[in-house]
Structure 1
């Protein structure tokens, strides 16, 4: 199949989903064929692909097609990400004020970490980061927090797909070392990135849970090691845990992380 044909099929599939959104009672193959301006066989092929993926369903009484539960699932993910950012925003500011360091709110997308909010440190020396930036999972605090709360088969899949690239001398590059650290993270409730992704930067991260006890985001406090001593970093850890709990509670979680 050529690239042009593939793009055309994707465009038509999106168009079908848009039309089904506008017609909650459903549409039949003939109606979609006329609206789309293509043959019934083409519409049927596209619908079958969407049906197998769960994006559409067929009413057994009318034979008409409607949006499937997969669309609801995707909508829930988007809604959760919007909710967690809205609920977390004032607390992220508090956490940055109390620690004097940069705070990030991060979610997982396509087996990577994506920064969806940030509060900059008031200090002159800061780390480079931006909302929308992507980062690997195996060598970041937020990434390891997520991995610690995922099923082992999913962790295996992520490691296989993304590999364990070495960024610094501190980066974990074997599954055995990573799994041992994930056990520690699960037990203590937080993760540390000790110059594993970027030299000179250390961070502490903790999970954000929803009402079902599922991890949906993570927060971290990052700081240049030149500003750290053991007392300050222990304080940062305690505050990260406290604020991850507060944000989770604002989303309906009743879990105690530590």
Structure 2
């Protein structure tokens, strides 16, 4: 059944229709061509094209003034590709962690200044938590987020941290850039991170980053459980297995630990 069009936002719909005009045969199009294809006013079309160009979704050829698809779409497409590869490569390892420890395992990817959960395997003793596949979470106060942030290239890490707005979720939530930088240094030293009731009271998790063929952190795996069960001894055991797991997943993506 087709979805109702009653709740479509017209400007967004038009922008997406413009992007869909391009094809292998017609990889460059002018303002008039696009306006005619979509039966839009030329001034409206030009305004949308200018916005898409400003955001990197389109590039304008300076020689003929025509537009073509931009690298931003390639970047987003690679995120989808990585997500598919990650889920396929990671699921068996997530299940093994859950079978061994009885807690919940998550797989997440970076998406801008946040992370998005792309898979979740619940243990038999798993407790109810707010995480769910497709949900976004903050990087600075979650295990999956901090694991990625700590192993990002320095330039991108600093850029990301400048855009963080700190919110307090629990008494343990990190609330400033200075404390976060100290935490990230610790994470890099031990190769894994701990979320000690920073996003939810009563919840503790261990997480480690997944590296791609460029040696960059593109995702992370975590094991979460109640603080009553996730004591130091169990965290030490999980962290050792987790580091082995993320290394195996990273290797499937072309990462070489040299």
- TM-score band, normalised by shorter chain: 0.7 to 0.9
TM-score, reference length from structure 2? 0.86
Q: Which stretch of the first structure deviates more once superposed, 66-75 or 178-187?
A: 66-75
In the other structure, the counterpart of 2:161 is 156
Q: Which residue is equivalent to 2:19?
A: 17
Query: 1:237-252 to 2 correspondence within 5 Å?
Result: 237-252=239-254
Question: How far, CA to CA, are the matches of 2:56 and 2:67 in structure 1?
Answer: 12
Q: How far off is 1:23 after superposition?
A: 4.3
Query: Which of 108-117 and 210-219 deviates more?
Result: 108-117
Contact 2:173-2:199 within 8 A present in 1 as well? yes
Task: Give runs of aligned pairs for residues 67-216 of structure 1, distance below 5 A.
Answer: 67-123=69-125, 126-128=127-129, 129-150=131-152, 151-159=156-164, 162-163=165-166, 165-216=167-218
CA contact (8 A) 1:127 1:223 kept: no
Contact 2:193 2:206 in 1 (8 A): yes
Gaps of 5+ in 1: 1-6
SS of 2:245's partner is helix
The structure-2 alpha-carbon separation of the partners of 1:57 and 1:195, relative to structure 1 and needing over 3 Å to count, comes to closer
Q: Displaced runs of 4+ in structure 1, greater than 6 A?
A: none
Judged with a 3 Å threshold, the aligned counterparts in structure 2 of structure 1 residues 71 and 135 are, in CA distance, closer, same or farther, namely closer
Corresponding residue of 1:32: 34
**How far apart are 1:18 and its partner, in Å?**
0.4
CA distance in 1, matches of 2:179, 2:256: 31
**Cα deviation code 1:71-118 (max 9, x no counterpart):** 112111111112111211111111211222210001222422221111
Structure with more helix by fraction: 1
Counterpart position of 1:4: none
* Compared CA separation, residues 232 and 75, structure 1 to 2 (3 A): same
TM-score (norm: length of structure 1): 0.86
* Structure 2 unaligned spans of 5+: 1-8
| Aligned equivalents of 2:137, 2:56: Cα separation in 1 | 30
Counterparts of 2:248 and 2:26, CA distance in 1? 38
Contact 1:13 1:46 in 2 (8 A): yes
Cα RMSD (Å): 2.1
Q: Answer yes or no: is the 8 Å Cα contact 1:93–1:119 preserved in 2.
A: yes
Shift of 1:62: 5.6
Q: Residue 239 and residue 45 in structure 1: after superposition, are their counterparts in 2 closer, same or farther (change >3 A)?
A: same
Question: Matches of 2:22 and 2:187 in 1, distance apart?
Answer: 44
Q: Give secondary structure in 1 for the equivalent of 2:208.
A: strand
